[in-house]
Structure 1
């Protein structure tokens, strides 16, 4: 009987266990939040690195074509691109703004019109009834808002990206040297070579996205103009920019065009959907192999999984930058694991 502990003597032990459990829970919550913030910052840094690689790639093109000095080519590259951006907004900004305003004002009525047309068919009415009674509409809209939200707010994100780009453009060698210095002595040479290879992979990805943007925007605009749809300029730019988001981007880009086409009838909507599909098929069959013939071949399933995971974790930037993240991961895996395994299996004499 003397060995049995009383409730009074067990009480401090119970309090201690409770505090330990709550401490572990708080630690896990803080760790998850810190991990999410760190991943968001890494993605913004990657966006800044991609922009700086673009400026240096454009400078290299100028240096090759015009035989200009490297520093002067970089200055000209930045000035030309900023000038083109300012000229675009100067000449097309007001038209783009008015079309975006018209599109945002028109979409609610076109969506209602689409619901009315769906109610006229048995399948469409069943789909609408299922959405209304299941409550999936609110869940889907909330998921989409989170999926395409930004990390710290769009203005803060853009400010950080511009700031990081300026630092990378000003002195990229310093940051590269700093990363290499963090590596062990026997890995410095391999790390320096690997950073150059990653830069080449990202440069080719940027080149492919730019070519795809112009291809999609131009041919989509021509197709919409031929079909007589309004807001051609805005819809073409939306299709071009969303081409940066593979798999999901083309699906999202066709939605506003389909809603506007439904105002003119189901036949027009069918033609618009066929035109968007044809442009994507041509882009995938003709231009994409030429763009990615020297890039890492990325499995589509891996890209989709990365987009969903990173989108759920960090929002818009995760969806947008999932493809270069996958490219970087595959390149690192290939160089640091696959080639080493092949070397140990089949050593070179």
Structure 2
């Protein structure tokens, strides 16, 4: 029999089987990595929802602490007033302002396309405005819209996240010691005091952030409602409410909130748009750099550049929820690094 008709040797067969095994091993490793990455991303989103629920629980307990100090009531009664009172206040606000806000939102949604068209015409009358419009081509606008749409999306959906967050907040508010002690039980015995110290410091920092953020949102809403109302800007209440809510997103939120106000100002006159822009800038500056730092004295000082990087990273990973929680999450990480690596403190007695 000729050499061409010889059957494959055992050595060549073994070689071929080894190669196939390596290919399948590689495929399995890649598939496993993909699954791990997907699970990690979902787990990270769940972690953010846990943090959001914790922040709401911290708010209820902080308000309960204040009620207990002022009235000398028992803890249970103070917490009941804190939770029930907060929901009652929200219900009253929606009752009195809901119809007006809904009407103004409807007006804004119907008039916004015409407002943008009018603003473009007024911008085209100036050299700087013409250059800006030239850079904002249709392709760039579509790309910006697509990016914004992706940016303001989350894995489970905003409403789904909200339901989960509210349920977590209720559980954390009802029995916080159960979860706190559960975390401490995972820490080695000789480090439990340090663990309690770190948890208490994180709680104090989150309370400071919440107090500053909530007061900032209310002040921005009140100041812009008065200012835009005096300027006779249409749908002033909605614009002020939007600016107050977007205060949750440091740096970027203020810029986004200013856009519709300036566009509506342009429909009146260029000078009105400039005054409206200055009003937004002054209000945000006073609240951000004067009022908020006074309230947030106990919160860790966060470098602005690091805050922006954290927001961009969190926005890419988890959408709007990540952007909102970027600052408290960064504060928690910096406290952990400070306590566990930088200071190397002894366990607190």
Name the stretch that deviates more: 121-130 or 144-153.
Answer: 121-130
Preserved contact between residue 151 and residue 317 of structure 1 (Cα < 8 Å): no
Preserved contact between residue 208 and residue 297 of structure 2 (Cα < 8 Å): no
Query: Residue deviations 1:269-326, cap 9 Å, x none?
Result: 1110011111122223421231222221100011100000000000011000001011
Distance 1:35 1:56 in 2: 31
Residue 122 of structure 2: aligned partner: 117
- How many equivalent pairs are there? 341
Which of these residues, 1, 7, 13, is aligned with residue 18 of structure 2?
13
Residue 161 of structure 1: aligned partner: 165
Q: What runs of 5+ residues in structure 1 fail to find an aligned partner?
A: 345-349
Residue 144 of structure 2: aligned partner: 140
Which of these residues, 38, 45, 68, is aligned with residue 40 of structure 1?
45
Which of these residues, 242, 250, 261, is aligned with residue 238 of structure 1?
242
- RMSD between aligned residues: 2.2
Distance 2:88 2:229 in 1: 28
Q: How far off its partner does 1:27 sit?
A: 1.9
Distance 1:85 1:335 in 2: 38
Q: How far off its partner does 1:100 sit?
A: 1.3
1:101 and 2:106 equivalent?
yes
1:297 and 2:301 equivalent?
yes
Give the 3 Å change call, closer, same or farther, for CA 111–13 of structure 1 in structure 2: farther
Distance 2:343 2:88 in 1: 44
Residue 276 of structure 2: aligned partner: 272
Q: How far off its partner does 1:150 sit?
A: 2.7
SS of residue in 1 equivalent to 2:137: helix
Name the stretch that deviates more: 85-94 or 143-152.
Answer: 143-152
Q: How far off its partner does 1:331 sit?
A: 1.0
Q: What runs of 5+ residues in structure 2 fail to find an aligned partner?
A: 1-8
Distance 2:20 2:29 in 1: 14
Give the 3 Å change call, closer, same or farther, for CA 84–6 of structure 1 in structure 2: same
Q: How far off its partner does 1:17 sit?
A: 2.6
Preserved contact between residue 148 and residue 319 of structure 1 (Cα < 8 Å): no
Distance 2:127 2:26 in 1: 55
SS of residue in 1 equivalent to 2:268: coil
Distance 1:334 1:158 in 2: 32
Residue 183 of structure 1: aligned partner: 187
Name the stretch that deviates more: 136-145 or 152-161.
Answer: 136-145
Name the stretch that deviates more: 177-186 or 100-109.
Answer: 100-109
Runs of 4 or more off by more than 6 Å in structure 1?
4-7
SS of residue in 2 equivalent to 1:276: helix
Distance 1:55 1:34 in 2: 32
